[in-house]
Amino acid sequence: VTAYSNPFKDEIRFRIIPPVTGKAKIQLFDLQGRLLQEVFDENLIKGMPYDFNFPVRESMRVPMIYYFIQGEKRFRGKLIPGK
């Protein structure tokens, strides 16, 4: 999974190429580990690219960590707000 633009302003674009077929989630956390929002929860097919845009509310324009979770697979990345 990739997330851009990073630094972000009012939108984050996610691109997912799932490693397996099945239910997938993307969750956003603040740096203290609090869940801010689950932005994605769908079934995906292995290897099929999926793109979506997430509009970022003003109150969520803080440094965040995103987690992509699908079965036993888990990936994470950092998101930094722009000026």
Give the tens place of pLDDT for each residue, 47-58.
999 999 999 999
* Mean pLDDT value of segment 62-73: 94
- The whole-angstrom separation of Cα 41 and Cα 14 is 13
Nearest by Cα to 20 from 42, 3, 44, 37: 44
- Which residues have C-beta within 8 Å of that of residue 33, sequence separation ≥ 6? none
CA-CA distance, 51 to 46, in Å (whole number)? 14
Taking the C-alpha atoms of residue 7 and residue 49, their distance in angstroms, rounded to an integer, is: 23
Report pLDDT digits (tens) over 4-40.
Answer: 999 999 999 999 999 999 999 999 999 999 999 999 9
Percent of the chain at pLDDT above 90? Answer: 93
